[in-house]
Amino acid sequence: MDKRLNIAFLAGGDSSEREIALGSAAQTINSFKKERYNLYMIDVHCGKWTYKDNNGAEWLVDQNDFSLTVSGERITFDYAFIMIHGTPGEDGKLQAYLQMQGVPFSTGDMASSVITFDKTTCKLAAARTGVALAREVLLSRGDKWSAEEIVGRLGLPIFVKPNASGSSCGVTRVTDVAQLPEAIEKAFSESSEVLIEEMISGREVACGVLITKKKEYLLPVTEVVSKNAYFDYEAKYTPGMAAEITPADLSDEIVEKLHYFTRAIYRACRCRGLARVDFIITPEGTPYMIEINTVPGMSSGSIVPKQLRAAGLDLSDILDEVIEDTL
């Protein structure tokens, strides 16, 4: 009898990050120990969940009971590993479904995911830790706003972002008040709310984290040096457009601060599984939180796997710990 766990590896999604998520998932699935798991890559897209077998045949998941029937054999899942950036993998939708099905999964629960995906709500949760946060203006579709008032309050440059999105999709760095209307419209194409933040100048860094019932991993810090004005979509996904230095050349005092806030933010947002917290460090040494990423990229070139290697940790072993912690 096969005692391996049946793992549903949920990939794809419906956001503009879909292709990124599929590429990341295709690499990440190879990091799981095949002797321990039966892995089923499931493409979640536009309400249809599809598994493609080794022969290229496609089989639909029965979403009524989260099962899969392949060549007459019904398969149920012991665990779901979520590798979907954006909706429905980071915003609580998949988490709510899996909670109703009673299937354990690799991220925080629905409530945690709702908090972390909404940038403003996430900042409210993070504020309890004492971390510095950029000043902001939040707009909902239909709100009346004045470009001059926004710039008067936040100054220039400013960042205009979808309030619920990732991978820097829909983000614009605004350096002139005349650019603001187009930037806001671009952000509204990704989200029903737009977050406008003052620009914090400094060094951009990221810290991976995993806290289980047994262990705590605060990974070596990575500094991101972009050839663009900031670490935008192009810099993130175009080879040669950004350098990621791990471990970053930072003082022990700064690293200690970053680890303190990474741990505190992870706990304040009730996260679970692997996550990554991004910061800007000002010239005075103050870390400002940018965001927390609860489904970080896990391909070999992504930040968290690089940090794991720098720490002397094996990704396959860490994935075991993520699964064991929630079973």
Give tens-digit pLDDT for 170-221: 899 999 999 999 999 999 998 999 999 999 999 999 999 999 999 999 999 9
55's tokens: 């022969």
CATH of the domain at 124: 3.30.470.20
Least confident of 135-144, 166-175, 302-311: 166-175
Residue 163 within any structural domain of the chain? yes
Does residue 236 surpass a pLDDT of 70? no
Q: Is 101 found in the same domain as 10?
A: yes
Q: Which of 198, 215, 240 is the last residue of a domain?
A: 198
Looking at residue 289, the DSSP 8-state letter turns out to be: E
Which of 177, 198, 219 is the endpoint of a domain? 198
Taken in order 79, 83, 89, 92, is the CA torsion positive or negative?
positive
Residues 13 and 86 in one domain: yes
Question: Do 85 and 224 lie in a common domain?
Answer: no
37 and 166 both lie in a single domain: no
Q: Partners of 10 in the beta sheet?
A: 42, 82
Identify whether residues 215 and 257 lie together within a single domain: yes
Note whether residue 150 is domain-resident: yes
pLDDT at 235: 43
Torsion of CA 166, 170, 171, 177, to 10 degrees: -160
Q: What is the CATH classification number for the domain harbouring 173?
A: 3.30.1490.20
Q: What is the CATH number of the domain that holds 80?
A: 3.40.50.20
Q: Tell me: do 184 and 233 sit in the same domain.
A: no
Same domain for 154 and 224, yes or no, is: no
* C-alpha span between 307 and 300 (Å, rounded): 10
- N-term to C-term CA, the chain: 20
Residues 141, 220, single domain; the answer is no
pLDDT of residue 189: 92
Confidence band for 237, pLDDT divided at 50, 70 and 90: very low
Averaged over 42-55, what is the pLDDT?
Answer: 95
Q: Is residue 324 part of a domain?
A: no
Is the overall model pTM greater than 0.85, yes or no? yes
Structural domain boundaries enclosing 245: 114-131+201-314
- How many domains are there within the chain? 3
pLDDT value of position 1: 47
State whether 30 and 91 are in the same domain: yes
Task: Please state the φ and ψ torsions of residue 73, each to the nearest 5 degrees.
Answer: -100, 125
Instruction: Round the average pLDDT of the chain to a whole number and report it.
Output: 93
Residue 180 lies in a domain: yes
- Residue at 263 is within a domain: yes
Q: Is the peptide bond before 283 cis (omega within 30 degrees of 0)?
A: no
Q: Is residue 58 part of a domain?
A: yes
Q: Categorize the per-residue pLDDT at 240 as very low, low, confident or very high, splitting at 50, 70 and 90.
A: low
Q: Are residues 239 and 269 in the same domain?
A: yes
Amino acid at position 181, single letter: P
| 319 belongs to a structural domain | no
Does residue 326 form part of some domain?
A: no
Residues 207 and 154 in one domain: no
| 248 shares its domain with 125 | yes
pLDDT higher than 50, residue 222: yes
